[in-house]
Structure 1
Amino acid sequence: SLAEIENSELFKYSPYKSLNEDQYKSVLEILTNINNSQGNSIFVSGSAGTGKTILATYLMKLLVSDVDNIEDAEIQEDDIYEINLIKEFQRKYPKAKIGFVIAMTPLRETIKKVFSNVPGLKKQMVMSPSETFKLGIKYDLLIVDEAHRLRQYRNISWRGEFKKKNQLLGLGDDGTELNWIMANSRNQIFFYDAAQSVKPSDIDEFKFSELQNKPDTLKLSLKSQMRTKGGNDYITFIDNLLNCDVKKKPDFSTDFELKFFDSFNSLYNKLKIREKENGLCRMIAGYSWEWKSDPKRKDNLDLNAIDIRIDGMEFQWNKTYNDWITSENAFEQIGCIHTTQGYDLNYAAIIFGLEIDYDPIQNELVIDKTKYFDRYGKNGVTDYELKSYIVNIYKTVLYRGIKGVYIYACNYNLKQYLKKYLNLNLDINVTTEIKGNNPRIIPFESVKPFVNAVPIYDIKVAASNFTDPQFYEEFSWAELPMQVSPKKGYFIAQVMGESMNKKIANGSYCLFEEYTAGSRNGEIVLAECSNIQDGDYGLGYTIKEYSSIKSFTEDSFRHESIVLKPISYDYSFKDIVLSEDEIIRFRVRGIFKKVLNWI
């Protein structure tokens, strides 16, 4: 199908793709510069999604093309200048030795597969920085994609091999993979974005700046957004959002879906629908959970160990490092920065983990180092450096989505901050649609009240805070599951949200018994709270565990406060505490009996 073709790696990284004006001008400038110099460095800068990898693969294919055998009739007038530049390059470097360098293993393996399917290109042309030593002589040209991920001698696991490569060049521990590229080639093209540096092993920005600031370095920039349908406005917005400097809520085109989810269950189910429609929809999280199922761990006793628990749902980290995005069962796993950087997704679901929160007093993001589990990402770095890397990680993964980005945050303050600027998902029926666990509504003429049916109220009860005002009076009659007998006072309502997910899954239909009298302490209750000013507009509802603090006199008592407690795997949910005037407007409508299941 067309969708399958568009989702394929060969299509996404194809060197045959048409270039935009930005990219085409860069090609001409790059070729002119290389042809006119005896050895030069070229930097092509651009934020995520500006087509750096596409331009890099296009150049690779272009420079090895046999342009001498192109028939004149096939040449368009606009192509003549480009073809002449290619011929000049091939005369200058006959049988040119060209390499395509990628430091990141997953992306490198993907590009190797692409090159093996393109005439004129070979997977052997794609290499790691250390493989640039293999030739024994200098390459005529090295094209370096994702150059911001080139490494230095810091927080790496292969220190011995790194040291040997530095020694080959007479360098000490301050030698970097950038030095290797420079030493092993006459010309270099670096595709670079400092904002996508995500680990302390990545070369410091100032070392790239030193090279960029040399008078003979050609500096080019790509501006046009080619990935996300949110365009450059989305890229700018995400940058401002994570810098806590948003001036106004954005308004993106209807072609791009940016939503915040209070419920992770709802996010998962909505993403599952998008996966069925489009493919290439994946969940990505910050490194806030230990990788217990890592097959490379020497102490790993359980490859099926659960790594991540969110809102009562359980997941493992990506089961494979290379080509995870297209691997089997990838949708049911959660990826990280290292398996997704450089890739496109139709929809990306981004999970802000427990390591990152928001400080409303200082108006800034804050990091909890104890809840960040990438040891090579945090050892020996300052708090400022760690925050910079983690924020860059979230920016980078937020840029993966072409058609949409879904966002969830584990920590309460960050949830509240993000909800100020992001549209809240309101598609509350998504969970029950997927479960298929819907009640059977009985036609009115067939109803025998509390004999074959009980009322089902057309309200959505919030398992979070009180819902927006709704009318309790509107209802139909529904049949109960076979194992439940109708009883006067029973009624059904749907519970939305995650604050009760230890007891009630998001989207569940629940059976309640109308409250009449008696102690409610310790009961799970359906509560309503009316606002006097909004009395004409209905009531707000929530479901929580009830407790109260009372003060007694000789002949009566009064509630000093009422506490409604969440029962959730997500500890960011807080108690709802009612006092004074709020208690007057508070009422228990029903006592929770059970979750209903018609399947």
Structure 2
Amino acid sequence: MSNAAVDKISPLLPLTTEQSELVERLLAFATTHIQTDGPAVFTIYGDAGTGKSVVLAHLFNQLQTLARTHPTNPLTGTENYFLVNHPEILKVYREIAGQQPHLFKKDFQRPTSLINQINQGKRHADVLVIDEAHLLLSQADHYNNFYGTNQLTSLMATAKVIIVVFDETQVLRMKSYWTESRLEHLLASVPHTSYRLTHQFRMQASDELVSWINDFTHQRLHPLPATDGTQYDLRVFNDAELMRQAIVQRNREVGLSRIVSTSGYPSTLDGGKHFITEGRFHLPWDQYNYTNTPWAELPQTIDEVGSIYTCQGFDLNYVGLILGPPITLDEHQHLQIRLDRYTDVEAFKRRDDLTDPQKLTQIKQQLVLNSINVLMKRGVKGLYIFAHDQRLRHYLQQRH
């Protein structure tokens, strides 16, 4: 694996004063509550790129160092796990574990794997650190061998301390449908506290552009910042192939530059290639990545189109985003989400506790908007946009 992804969340990275103080607060929370019956939960809220994962990496390294080397600390000898429900990000954490003396690859697990091992009596958990907790399943998923009703509830039944990071704007699938209010309702009966990170670390963009992305993905349209006062490279393209060529050039210059897209194009998990075609532009979707290297760091993926499932949680230097057929602008310049054009069938799988048709439509639309938010915030140095919908494309170009 190249070091690009590892370096972004290494426990050797320097922290800001705020981040250092938060790590100390989290350690104190764990030390206090490990001596009680539990569970006690600490939630870190924050948008994409606000440094949540690097805080967790530092915390877990210190936690395991205490557990494995300190003779008298309350955390001495505790059995602790770091969980993430995202196979690409898990690869990065396990790579980090191989570089630190007190972190083991087995410390890093998918939630379902740990839950099932605990249920079989093979493991127990004292402290759990959960990255991307908005990806935890909130309903049974037999395909993934989870037979409970909620992964967080299952984990709370076993651990003494749980520390999670959570961003409701990164909820992407019905089976992991969460909101902050749903999370807080679940935690109401246990000792819990929270902290919110707000400073944007990933994107070298102005606050105005970050605000524009957040507004766009809540269907509040206003002009793109004409210039955002930074070196951030923001462009809107009328031709997807020209955007691809520009991204290829950026990739030659600085690396880690990729094309990504929303759903809305042929896509089936059948092992075959499925293509996105926009005029002269013609590239296949990302293929399942069987290697230990994250998708974006594989050289050949410059000739593929990434999705939320390969890019969520990762930094790219430049991202070229295709806004697919479901994202349109009506004649009154209102952003519309055409659910009938959405091709990611996994995202909208039915769940028994959500039955109100109007509410379901709203939730599905927000899941699509969340996917746009995730993809728009991948680029550290630049964001290039191509919209399938001609009216939307024209609107973005006129106001750029």
TM-score (norm 2): 0.88
* Structure 1 residue corresponding to 2:194, chosen from 197, 219, 244: 219
What one-letter code is carried by the residue in structure 2 that aligns with 1:145? D
* Structure 2 residue corresponding to 1:278, chosen from 232, 249, 254: 254
Shift of 1:112: 1.5
Q: Which residue of 1 aligns with 2:172?
A: 198
CA distance in 1, matches of 2:380, 2:205: 8
CA distance in 2, matches of 1:286, 1:157: 26
- Going from structure 1 to structure 2, the CA distance change for 1:119 and 1:317 (only over 3 Å counts) comes to same
Shift of 1:246: 4.5
The 8 Å contact of residues 202 and 315 in structure 2, kept in 1 or not, is answered as: yes
Q: Which residue of 2 aligns with 1:365?
A: 335
CA distance in 2, matches of 1:252, 1:308: 31
- The answer to whether residue 225 in structure 2 is matched with residue 243 in structure 1 is no
The 8 Å contact of residues 321 and 384 in structure 2, kept in 1 or not, is answered as: yes
- Of 257-266 and 378-387, more deviation after overlay is shown by 378-387
SS at match of 2:138: coil
The 8 Å contact of residues 43 and 212 in structure 1, kept in 2 or not, is answered as: no
Q: Which residue of 1 aligns with 2:373?
A: 395
- The answer to whether residue 386 in structure 2 is matched with residue 408 in structure 1 is yes
SS at match of 2:212: helix
- Going from structure 1 to structure 2, the CA distance change for 1:25 and 1:420 (only over 3 Å counts) comes to farther
1:506-547 Cα offsets, whole Å, 9 max, x none, are: xxxxxxxxxxxxxxxxxxxxxxxxxxxxxxxxxxxxxxxxxx
Shift of 1:248: 5.0
Shift of 1:210: 1.1
The 8 Å contact of residues 5 and 314 in structure 2, kept in 1 or not, is answered as: no
SS at match of 2:112: helix
SS at match of 1:61: helix
- The answer to whether residue 181 in structure 2 is matched with residue 185 in structure 1 is no
Shift of 1:317: 0.7
What one-letter code is carried by the residue in structure 2 that aligns with 1:180? S
1:426-468 Cα offsets, whole Å, 9 max, x none, are: xxxxxxxxxxxxxxxxxxxxxxxxxxxxxxxxxxxxxxxxxxx
* Structure 1 residue corresponding to 2:364, chosen from 369, 372, 386: 386
Gaps of 5+ in 1: 70-86, 167-174, 424-599
Q: Which residue of 2 aligns with 1:355?
A: 326
Q: Which residue of 2 aligns with 1:139?
A: 125
What one-letter code is carried by the residue in structure 2 that aligns with 1:24? S
1:64-93 Cα offsets, whole Å, 9 max, x none, are: 226998xxxxxxxxxxxxxxxxx69x6112
The 8 Å contact of residues 97 and 139 in structure 1, kept in 2 or not, is answered as: yes
Gaps of 5+ in 2: 351-356
The 8 Å contact of residues 132 and 180 in structure 1, kept in 2 or not, is answered as: no
- Going from structure 1 to structure 2, the CA distance change for 1:219 and 1:366 (only over 3 Å counts) comes to same
SS at match of 1:64: helix
Equivalent runs, 1:151-162 vs 2, <5 Å? 151-153=137-139, 156=141, 158=143, 161-162=145-146
The 8 Å contact of residues 27 and 59 in structure 2, kept in 1 or not, is answered as: no
Shift of 1:419: 2.3
SS at match of 2:393: helix
Equivalent runs, 1:107-506 vs 2, <5 Å? 107-133=89-115, 134-135=117-118, 136=121, 138-153=124-139, 156=141, 158=143, 161-163=145-147, 166=148, 175-205=149-179, 206-213=181-188, 216-250=191-225, 251-291=227-267, 294=269, 297=270, 303=272, 305-321=273-289, 323-361=294-332, 363-380=333-350, 382-421=360-399, 423=400
What one-letter code is carried by the residue in structure 1 that aligns with 2:165? F
What one-letter code is carried by the residue in structure 1 that aligns with 2:264? S
What one-letter code is carried by the residue in structure 2 that aligns with 1:390? V
Q: Which residue of 2 aligns with 1:83?
A: none
- Of 100-109 and 188-197, more deviation after overlay is shown by 100-109
Shift of 1:213: 4.7
The 8 Å contact of residues 286 and 306 in structure 2, kept in 1 or not, is answered as: yes
- Of 142-151 and 408-417, more deviation after overlay is shown by 408-417
What one-letter code is carried by the residue in structure 2 that aligns with 1:54? V
The 8 Å contact of residues 106 and 339 in structure 1, kept in 2 or not, is answered as: yes
The 8 Å contact of residues 212 and 219 in structure 1, kept in 2 or not, is answered as: no
Q: Which residue of 1 aligns with 2:19?
A: 23
Shift of 1:366: 1.7
CA distance in 1, matches of 2:65, 2:348: 45
1:546-569 Cα offsets, whole Å, 9 max, x none, are: xxxxxxxxxxxxxxxxxxxxxxxx
- Going from structure 1 to structure 2, the CA distance change for 1:367 and 1:247 (only over 3 Å counts) comes to closer
SS at match of 1:185: coil
- Going from structure 1 to structure 2, the CA distance change for 1:232 and 1:25 (only over 3 Å counts) comes to farther
CA distance in 2, matches of 1:417, 1:243: 17
CA distance in 1, matches of 2:61, 2:234: 36
SS at match of 2:322: strand
TM-score (norm 1): 0.60
SS at match of 2:160: strand
CA distance in 2, matches of 1:196, 1:105: 16
What is the identity percentage for the equivalent residue pairs of Structure 1 and Structure 2?
Answer: 22
Normalized per residue, the structure richer in helix is: 2
What one-letter code is carried by the residue in structure 2 that aligns with 1:196? Q
SS at match of 1:342: coil
- Going from structure 1 to structure 2, the CA distance change for 1:259 and 1:214 (only over 3 Å counts) comes to farther
What one-letter code is carried by the residue in structure 2 that aligns with 1:17? L
SS at match of 1:117: coil
SS at match of 2:126: strand
1:159-199 Cα offsets, whole Å, 9 max, x none, are: 7x322xx2xxxxxxxx2111122112110001111111011
CA distance in 2, matches of 1:262, 1:183: 53
- Going from structure 1 to structure 2, the CA distance change for 1:379 and 1:35 (only over 3 Å counts) comes to closer
Q: Which residue of 2 aligns with 1:60?
A: 60
Higher relative CO (CA 8 A, sep ≥ 6), structure 1 or 2? 2
CA distance in 2, matches of 1:249, 1:126: 41
What one-letter code is carried by the residue in structure 1 that aligns with 2:342? Y
Normalized per residue, the structure richer in strand is: 1
- The answer to whether residue 15 in structure 2 is matched with residue 12 in structure 1 is no
What one-letter code is carried by the residue in structure 2 that aligns with 1:241? F
CA distance in 2, matches of 1:357, 1:157: 35
Question: CA-atom RMSD, angstroms?
Answer: 2.4
Structure with larger Rg: 1
